[in-house]
Amino acid sequence: MTELMKWFDSRRSPMDLIERLFEGDAGSSAIRVEELVDGNTLVVRAELPGIDPDKDVDVSVADGVLTIKAERQEKSEHKDKDGYRSEFRYGSFVRRLPLPGGVQQNDVTASYKDGLLEVRAPLPAHTQEPAAAKVPVTRG
For 15-73, the pLDDT digits (tens) are 555 555 554 433 445 789 999 999 999 999 999 988 889 999 999 999 999 999 998 87
37: containing domain: 3-122
**Domain-located, residue 140:** no
| pLDDT tens-digit map of 86-130 | 887 778 889 999 998 888 889 999 999 999 999 999 998 865 566
Q: What is the pLDDT of residue 27?
A: 42
> pTM above the 0.85 mark?
no
- Evaluate whether residue 129 is within a structural domain: no
Asked if residue 91 is part of any domain, the answer here is: yes
| Residue 67 placed within a domain | yes
Question: Does 138 fall in a domain?
Answer: no
3-state SS, residue 1: coil
Element (H, E) at 10: helix 3-10
Farthest-apart Cα atoms in the chain, separation: 95
CATH of the domain at 17: 2.60.40.790
Q: Give the pLDDT of residue 45.
A: 96
The 10 Å Cβ neighbour count of residue 30 is 17
Query: What pLDDT, on a 0 to 100 scale, did the predictor assign at position 84?
Result: 87
Q: Is residue 33 part of a domain?
A: yes
Q: How far is CA 13 from the centre of its chain?
A: 15
> What is the domain count for the chain?
1
Considering the domain boundaries, does residue 135 fall inside one? no
Domain-embedded: residue 79: yes
User: What pLDDT, on a 0 to 100 scale, did the predictor assign at position 35?
Assistant: 94
